[in-house]
Structure 1
């Protein structure tokens, strides 16, 4: 959807701001309902929850495909598909976890995780291809075909008996968790714009406070012998908490990388959507292959060891990439770093799902899958916003350093701050193609600005990987060593 914004504005006779709001509402809807979607599995069953979600998603994608205005797109995609995804996503994890056991479950979850990662990497390419050569509506149409196939083959999905009554549903917990996540994610999304990011901390803090109230409300509900929306006692399980945290960090790094790479490739190098997709392919291929490799070698090495190896390889990939972003960058030079990132993500992401779901026990699969999906969705939302902000800050720092070096003592930090919008407007209108290979002042300033911005972004990704590696060290051995 991000790559189709310009086309959507024209086709639906709306504005860029409206489309961005629609995209944000989808993220808000999905993130805020994941916990509820997870818990509904205990009330109406995993299979029924998944199929109801599929039905809602199918209705939503049909409305979105037929949209004649922005309101139809909002209702169809942002709301109905968001609700459908919130019901389906946790259920997929718990259905897989409940259907398979031992090595088979590890392998099945590896495939599931690999598909999610690959989809995140190729989504922009696929969306751009459809929008450019056919229509963005076709993307929604293809989703409908997939939903129909799911419904047609739904008889093959294993049935799991519900373990809760409808009267046991924690309504207040649902309200608190949804509102807290909505406010938190809204705050994160406000980081995407210079105009709104000053409001972001207030919303994020408010969201955290609401979620804190939710935590103590659930704790009190458990002490009274009532069934909570989410069993917070799972957070006392070290492997569950660390597995969820490392998975969030991986999704954050993946979303951030997939966000900044197309910006550099298209805005700086001038690559088209297809070429951009080709440069992302090494990440996609590495992620897919090594997700399967991770499940195979989990019988020889512990999950902790393999996840740590993944973070190390991904960290190496980010380090390799940070020095490659210049005006004269050669696309082939980006391939090793992108592949290492994919390999690292492939080794780590699938096994974190296995750690999370196995450590929670069979009776808590619904709670675990809902919380895991919420954390992963938060990581993806935060990745785009956080890395986007760091990219902007890096560009600001790089441009000032370049100007100060080129014109020493001619401009103060205060003057630079006051005229920063003017400088960036000039950068946006600069013909970068003419600056390549030159040694002019303009070329030096632009090159330093771009290089510093991308280096900051990759340094942030490296930091996430390092933090994930440290957290992994505190996991208990699981698998071969366990």
Structure 2
């Protein structure tokens, strides 16, 4: 019997269903709470926003890279055992994050412990639902699971941010611990969906693929802080400068990653011989429809997560908003998306009149229109109402896209491949979210820093050399990523004359507007690529991923 063959007699009690629902809520909360606590985390652990962004990228990378190995473990020990083991590891990671004395300890706790644990936790609810429900029950469970992630994300931004601002960032993980205990109590008796099968686990392939993807994505995450080629600052570990020549650490990491992935490809080819068991099932990864849908969904997540992250960074500068008010200002996007998802799955059956592929196209088109509206709405004299129509258009587009992209992605996968596919699909969306924050966030901070330095130099009548200008931009970027608003003002007041300091808020406001516009143009370009990729998807697919 196949390791993931469905059990026709499986039933899911209400307690077990809510255990799965809370699991998805827990993952979403723990990721989304990082954005509002980031400034406090940076100050207390003496780090930078760039490092936190890299930790987010690393988390998603670990989760995505571990997906094939996680499926091997499920076939070896059984999915339910791996789920409970992952849950225990996730709880340990949450406690370690809250008690972290240094940034290194925090990164290990968040990126490695919770990253590894999140892989089976994300895929198990959807896999178990496949076996437990059908028809109308399946649609209702789909709505509930989508809402679990959305509500978890909202709770992390709002509740987590509120707790962090009033009691400290460590206390913001208290809701995570409470939900973790609830899941442990309610999920101990999850039904079995598979028969364990003793197959070798490809640890070498898993390690090499992790190192390859990790090096490349870590390099991308550090590009804003260390430079793409010419080093903005020296990268060193225990006093050892890496690399030992005048090149940024970024191309070094990317080169190492490419070499590791080349070795991984050779290793997988050897493992496909009769004597070996490959880490990844070639049939699934050669499925053009699945891979195309995976990339399309990941680019969509990159755009939406990146733009939301940039709004959290730029709106407090353009408008006099605190973190909680900023979260409220961005909230219409998520609320609109939730309304659209619920209406499409519970009330409106427009997929009976239009092919799901065309609905995905409409969704991406609405997203692009929303981004264009956001581009024109962002201005020095804007208000929170100025971006409301743009956020609602983006929410409508993302809602349409989210409901149907999964069906098309899984259109040509078999029931046996669904658990592994889900284990890859969901972590890759988290990876897209981290890349969006890293890439679009870097564009915003870099562009704004360049504008501020140039405007301040012009106000002071200075003519900076290329080296002086680069050093000033790098210093300002580090200040933006590390200092609080008051600390930045005090540090700048020590080096800038009072007339310039008086004009600095307006300079910063204009720079944030221009940086946001540049990031939006990049997001629009990526969205167009996403739309073009979606044209290769099938017209119809499964009713749910």
Partner of 1:437: none
After superposition, the C-alpha distances for 1:81-106 in whole angstroms (9 at most, x for unaligned) are 22221231222332233433456545
1:277 aligns with 2:318: no
Partner of 2:46: 15
Q: Shift in Å at residue 417 of structure 1?
A: 6.7
Map residues 423-434 of structure 1 onto 2, 5 A cutoff.
425=476, 429=489
Map residues 239-388 of structure 1 onto 2, 5 A cutoff.
239-296=289-346, 297=349, 298-388=351-441
Q: Shift in Å at residue 56 of structure 1?
A: 1.4
Q: Does the 8 Å CA contact 1:218/1:232 hold for their aligned counterparts? A: no
Q: Does the 8 Å CA contact 1:22/1:78 hold for their aligned counterparts? A: yes
Partner of 1:454: 516
1:85 aligns with 2:138: no
SS of 1:362's equivalent?
coil
Q: Shift in Å at residue 16 of structure 1?
A: 2.1
Partner of 2:499: none
Measure, in 2, the Cα distance between the counterparts of 1:444 and 1:154.
54
Measure, in 1, the Cα distance between the counterparts of 2:210 and 2:334.
32
Measure, in 1, the Cα distance between the counterparts of 2:360 and 2:75.
30
Q: Does the 8 Å CA contact 1:62/1:141 hold for their aligned counterparts? A: no
Q: Shift in Å at residue 193 of structure 1?
A: 1.5
Q: What TM-score, normalized to structure 1?
A: 0.83
1:233 aligns with 2:258: no
Measure, in 1, the Cα distance between the counterparts of 2:135 and 2:148.
20
Q: Shift in Å at residue 383 of structure 1?
A: 0.7
Q: Which structure's residues are more often helix, by fraction? A: 1
SS of 1:360's equivalent?
coil
- Classify 1:312/1:401 alpha carbon distance in 2 versus 1 (closer, same or farther; 3 Å): farther
After superposition, the C-alpha distances for 1:214-241 in whole angstroms (9 at most, x for unaligned) are 2343344234364322113223323201
Measure, in 2, the Cα distance between the counterparts of 1:174 and 1:111.
33
Q: Does the 8 Å CA contact 2:411/2:538 hold for their aligned counterparts? A: no
Q: Does the 8 Å CA contact 1:169/1:229 hold for their aligned counterparts? A: yes
Measure, in 1, the Cα distance between the counterparts of 2:172 and 2:407.
31
Map residues 117-266 of structure 1 onto 2, 5 A cutoff.
117=150, 119-120=152-153, 123-154=156-187, 157-162=190-195, 164-165=197-198, 167-194=199-226, 195=232, 198-224=248-274, 226-266=276-316
Measure, in 2, the Cα distance between the counterparts of 1:282 and 1:39.
41
Q: Shift in Å at residue 205 of structure 1?
A: 4.1
- Classify 1:227/1:81 alpha carbon distance in 2 versus 1 (closer, same or farther; 3 Å): same
Measure, in 2, the Cα distance between the counterparts of 1:109 and 1:202.
43
Gaps of 5+ in 2: 1-33, 227-231, 234-246, 481-487, 494-501
Q: Does the 8 Å CA contact 2:93/2:109 hold for their aligned counterparts? A: yes
Partner of 1:476: 538
After superposition, the C-alpha distances for 1:301-335 in whole angstroms (9 at most, x for unaligned) are 32212211111111111110012222211111111
Q: Does the 8 Å CA contact 1:189/1:382 hold for their aligned counterparts? A: yes
Gaps of 5+ in 1: 432-439
Q: Does the 8 Å CA contact 1:397/1:452 hold for their aligned counterparts? A: no
Q: Shift in Å at residue 108 of structure 1?
A: 3.5
- Classify 1:141/1:100 alpha carbon distance in 2 versus 1 (closer, same or farther; 3 Å): same
After superposition, the C-alpha distances for 1:239-281 in whole angstroms (9 at most, x for unaligned) are 2011101111111112201210011111231211121111111
- Classify 1:193/1:100 alpha carbon distance in 2 versus 1 (closer, same or farther; 3 Å): farther
Q: Does the 8 Å CA contact 2:57/2:434 hold for their aligned counterparts? A: no
Q: What TM-score, normalized to structure 2?
A: 0.75
Measure, in 2, the Cα distance between the counterparts of 1:113 and 1:126.
19
SS of 2:272's equivalent?
helix
Q: Shift in Å at residue 72 of structure 1?
A: 5.8
After superposition, the C-alpha distances for 1:93-147 in whole angstroms (9 at most, x for unaligned) are 3223343345654554454345435544553333221111234333322212212
Measure, in 1, the Cα distance between the counterparts of 2:92 and 2:248.
38
Query: Which stretch of the first structure deviates more once superposed, 267-276 or 97-106?
Result: 97-106
Measure, in 2, the Cα distance between the counterparts of 1:156 and 1:331.
47
Partner of 2:145: 112
SS of 2:66's equivalent?
helix
SS of 2:536's equivalent?
coil
Measure, in 2, the Cα distance between the counterparts of 1:284 and 1:143.
21
Measure, in 2, the Cα distance between the counterparts of 1:70 and 1:390.
24
Partner of 1:4: 37
Q: Does the 8 Å CA contact 2:333/2:395 hold for their aligned counterparts? A: yes
Partner of 2:127: 94
Q: Shift in Å at residue 175 of structure 1?
A: 1.7
Measure, in 1, the Cα distance between the counterparts of 2:216 and 2:448.
26
Q: Does the 8 Å CA contact 2:219/2:250 hold for their aligned counterparts? A: yes
- Classify 1:143/1:478 alpha carbon distance in 2 versus 1 (closer, same or farther; 3 Å): same
Q: Shift in Å at residue 455 of structure 1?
A: 1.0
